[in-house]
């Protein structure tokens, strides 16, 4: 039996430069957009959603996303015009982990 691989992308707040159509074309992408007062709860729920699979997890956004990625010990990519290329490159080289994080 082959274990599914997921690419978990958590966008925090307004992410203006991300091409969601491009992202959704990638196989195995789980895209979560979170914001608000219960941000940590939303992130925890997103992380629990595909816990049974091997996956990579990346946060995209500004300073709040950077802070949360650091708190969770996960990768952060800044929301700049280069975010799409950076995200695709990350997915090419990242090694999926089982039951991550």
pLDDT digits 0-9 by tens, 26-74: 999 999 999 999 999 999 999 998 777 889 999 999 999 999 999 999 9
Q: Is residue 14 part of a domain?
A: yes
Q: Is residue 27 part of a domain?
A: yes
Say how many domains are in the chain: 1
Q: Is residue 87 part of a domain?
A: yes
Structural domain boundaries, residue 83: 5-95
Which strand (E) or helix (H) includes residue 62?
none
- Per-residue pLDDT at 99: 62
pTM: 0.92
Q: Is residue 100 part of a domain?
A: no
Q: Is residue 18 part of a domain?
A: yes
H helix runs in 1-101, sequence order = 20-25, 39-49, 63-72, 83-93
């Amino acid at each position: 039996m082959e274990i599914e691989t997921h690419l978990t992308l958590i966008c925090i707040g307004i992410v203006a430069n991300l091409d969601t159509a491009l992202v959704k074309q990638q196989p195995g992408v789980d895209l979560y957009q979170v914001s608000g007062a219960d941000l940590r709860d939303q992130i925890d729920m997103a992380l629990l959603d595909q816990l049974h699979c091997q996956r990579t997890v990346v946060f995209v956004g500004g300073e709040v996303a950077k802070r949360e990625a650091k708190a969770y010990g996960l990768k952060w990519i800044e929301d700049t015009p280069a975010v799409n290329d950076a995200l695709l490159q990350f997915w090419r080289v990242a090694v999926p982990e089982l039951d991550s994080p």
